[in-house]
Structure 1
Amino acid sequence: MGLTETPQWLIPAFVRSVKAIGATAGTEEIQAVGAALVESWRSPDRYHHALRHLIDVLASIDQLAEETHDPDVVRIAAWYHGAEFAADRRTAFAHKGGEDPMRGAVRAREELPRLGVPEETVARIADLQEQMHRHSAAAKDLDAQALCDADLAGLAADPQRYAEYRRNVRAEYAHIEPATYLEARIAILRKLASRSRIFCSPMAQDWEEPARQNLIAELDLLESELAELEEAEHAESERAAAAHAAESGTRSGAEAGETESDETAGEESDDAESTRGDGARGEEAGRGERAGRGRGRARRRARGPGRAGRRDSGTARRRAAEHPRDPQGQPWLR
């Protein structure tokens, strides 16, 4: 996450540089401004763009100082170039994440005049920061080239230090989805690697080769990581689609079973209804037949006994004579 303690020499170095560019304010007032800048560089959301990065940039400026017109102007521009920082989601997706030299320039224009720094010097410091906005220093502006190169000098670090740099940059954007971060980081690295020269100032040319090696190594690593992530997401998507298809098939089978059950129940109901209808028709026919026989008997009674009836009547009279009944009409027991 960077340094936890401020080196004792840092704020005195700021005071010396501010006085060297024409400040008229007292030491304590300049120290107060320097202390506020240090606190900005030490904000807890910084991992790479922290106080250690400022110190590294100042050290790189010292290496390039011989080719600058005014090294102290470049140093004070370095103090302000990353004083304003944002890595929140909204800012990152607006492509304004990380150090914000433009806001740093506004801060310099507000604070340095109060320290008595001449207006033209303040304007020059702001201009250097504005050129850092896209790391595109003017071809003939050696001070701007030195400042931009000093800011990118970490790209040429040894492999272990570069790996730490990579981890710290990722930590600053830990709240961004992995795929989104990888795509954005790859785009930045490709843009840097596509330059004919990463570093512009003459004395920074020794950094070119190690920086390119680090960029290529990181690109290979991030592209592989992104490919694995995309494959995992694709596999997960296929699993989800298969699960959805299986669930849909289960629901369709259940619905088909319910339909078949309903159809079977309907057929059984129709059969039962048909059976009841047949029974009712049979019963009705039976009632009709019985009623017909009843009407026949009634007509015969109305006409009187026929030959068979008269024979039956005679037989009945003989039986009555042979078997007398009691007054209640019951036969006697023998």
Structure 2
Amino acid sequence: MNALAEPLLDRWLADAELLAPRAGRDLWLREGSLLLRGWGEPHRRYHTAEHLAEVLAALDELAGAGHLDVREALLARAVGWYHDLHYDPSAAPGSNEHRSATMARDHLHALGVDDTLVGTVEDGVLMTATHEVRPGGVEGGVGARVLDAVHDADLWILSAPSPRYAAYRAQVREEYAHVPDHLFRAGRAAVMGGFAGRERIYRTDHAHAAWTAQARVNLADELADLA
């Protein structure tokens, strides 16, 4: 068993009890098993339980810095659990996120999660397709803060220490092994160049202050390698 499976399942059970208190432990466990199977699919290299754990850790950091209150942090983690639940490297752009959002909506409804919360989670998953957050977010300030936090947590990897960033680059290349090298390099340069060209990579004040410098170093080094 993946070393992350047990702690992730424990985290899911704690979140599920808050999200769907009436569903009961059997349904929480069944959904947790489904989540771990999805994140553990053998064709994945980067979009794995490791990425999920990193996103949850980044959300914890943002909550600890005061960006999210308890309820917002729970919603943001719910987005984290589902945002790459479906992942096919050969799918059309946006397809994985749309399918993951549909799974989040259907599964959370089946657990009895409130419709308003499900809507915020679905919006958060869809946002990860482009990492563009609509001004004002959804559901007023709460939705905006959740989307901003998910945006930053999913992009935490850009600010990872150099060895982890190098491993991330290798994992992404393995996931897209079916893409010829010249096409992969051009596509990757376009995506990473888009992030590097942003005036502000991260939307929350904490991530902007704490993560930007290393992210810009990583992006510059990778773009130089891709040139």
**Shared fold (TM-score greater than 0.5)?**
yes
2-structure distance, mates of 1:6, 1:162: 20
1:76 to 2:90 alignment? no
- The structure having more radius of gyration, on CA atoms, is 1
Contact 1:132 1:144 in 2 (8 A): no
Structure 2 length normalisation: TM-score? Answer: 0.90
Match of 1:85, SS?
Answer: coil
How do residues 30-179 of structure 1 correspond to structure 2 at under 5 angstroms? Answer: 30-65=28-63, 66-69=66-69, 70-88=72-90, 91=91, 94-96=92-94, 100-140=96-136, 141-179=144-182
Alignment RMSD, CA only?
Answer: 1.5
SS of the residue 1:199 aligns to: coil
Amino acid at match of 1:14: W
Aligned residues: 215
Alignment deviations for residues 60-105 of structure 1 (CA, whole Å, 9 cap, x no partner): 00001131241011101100001010112xx2xx4347xx222111
Task: State the match for 1:299 in structure 2.
Answer: none
Return the alpha-carbon distance in structure 2 between the equivalents of residues 142 and 160 of structure 1.
30
By how many angstroms is 1:22 displaced? 3.9
Distance in 1, matches of 2:41 and 2:3, equals: 13
Q: Which residue of 1 aligns with 2:3?
A: 5
Q: CA deviation at 1:26?
A: 0.9
Number of the residue aligned with 2:195: 192
| More displaced stretch, 11-20 vs 37-46 | 11-20
> How many angstroms apart in 2 are the aligned matches of 1:211 and 1:124?
28
**Is 1:182 the counterpart of 2:167 in the alignment?**
no
Structure ranking higher in helix proportion: 1
Q: TM-score, normalized by length of structure 1?
A: 0.62
Cα distance, 1:163–1:124 mapped onto 2, change above 3 Å: same
Q: 1:165 Cα shift?
A: 0.7
Does the Cα contact within 8 Å between 2:5 and 2:36 map onto a contact in 1?
no
1:294-313 alignment, distance < 5 Å: none
Q: Which residue of 2 aligns with 1:220?
A: 224
* CA distance in structure 2 between the aligned counterparts of 1:179 and 1:137, rounded to whole angstroms: 31
| Cα pair 2:56 2:153 within 8 Å, conserved | yes
User: Could you tell me which residue of structure 2 aligns to residue 210 of structure 1?
Assistant: 214
Structure 1: gaps spanning 5 or more residues: 224-334
Describe the SS at the equivalent of 1:8: helix
- Structure 2 stretches of 5 or more lacking a match? 137-143
**What does residue 271 of structure 1 align with?**
none
Q: Distance in 2 between matches of 1:198 and 1:68?
A: 19
Partner amino acid, structure 1, of 2:220:
I
Counterpart amino acid of 1:63?
Answer: E
Matched residue, 1:259: none
